[in-house]
Amino acid sequence: MAEKFPKVEGGGSLILAWQVKNKKVLVVGGGEVAAGRVLNLLNADAKVTVISPRDGLNDEVAYRIDHREVQYFDRKFEPSDLDDDQITMVLTAVDDPEASSQIWKLCKERKIAANIADVPPECDFYFGSVHRDGPLQIMVSTNGNGPKMANIVRRRIAANLPPNIGNAIAKVGELRKKLRAVAPGNDQGPKRMKWYVAVVMLFKSTKLTYSRMSNVCLQWSLEDLCDMEEEDMSQLLQYYTPDKVPSLNQIRLGDDPDEWKFDGSFGWACVV
């Protein structure tokens, strides 16, 4: 019986997409590592506060400060900086192991999630190497064992992705929102999900051969999704009620959704 289920592999991390939009995050330090942390946080729409003496600022961090993208205090960290109960997390990036450990202990006392740069045992979470293409985010984590290796793996993955994958995902996201407006009821949930899954390409591959996806999709390709316009979406949604899934060409040819028959001879799944 046990052979039917995945084997448990301990020692990993629970990889999540932490939503920090409009939440306060404290960054202690202003060097190169801090610059990367600050950019990641701003990309996630967090409210960032940086604490660091001015003479220790990286050019990028100084730029963020000068352009008021972050709140800034020109001094070293003080325990009272953690008194704000709105602080969601603390990130330290300073060349002072003793000071970093002290901040870690203070965060534990206040039950604030913290990441102490280059000290895995004193991290509630890790920063992986991230590939970003519009709404697409792919993170590679080595659980603190080899950050440089994570960067190499991330580059390998990114190099094998279609250049337009982010745009395709954005278009699918727009379609999903419009579908919920057309069929908002909870009772429509199962049908809505089934129809949506039929539209979205299902990538069934265990190899990094995504650059060939557009050649093996039996119906819509990434290029089709990228080319899909507002009018195409409106036309496509007319096929929801009769529960049909047309091609982009059929939509643009103006096929009547009440007359067009889907015989099941093709699907939307991609196989490699």
Average pLDDT score over the chain: 82
Mean pLDDT of 126-151: 86
Please report the pLDDT score of residue 49 as a whole number.
98
Q: Report the topology of domain 24-127.
A: Rossmann fold (3.40.50)
Q: How confident is the model at residue 198 (pLDDT cuts 50, 70, 90)?
A: low
Q: How confident is the model at residue 205 (pLDDT cuts 50, 70, 90)?
A: very low
Answer whether residue 21 shows pLDDT above 90: yes
Q: How confident is the model at residue 248 (pLDDT cuts 50, 70, 90)?
A: confident
Answer whether residue 182 shows pLDDT above 60: yes
Strand partners, 26: 49, 90
Domains of the chain, residue spans: 24-127, 165-271
CB-hemisphere CA count at 13 Å for 269?
Answer: 9
pLDDT digits (tens, 9 = 90+) for 218-243: 457 777 877 888 888 888 888 888 88
Which residues are part of the catalytic machinery? 118
The vertex-21 CA angle with 26 and 76, nearest 5°, equals: 10
Mean pLDDT of 140-160: 88
Residue whose structure tokens are 């819509």: 220
Mean pLDDT of 179-202: 75
67's tokens: 């352009």
Answer whether residue 267 shows pLDDT above 70: no
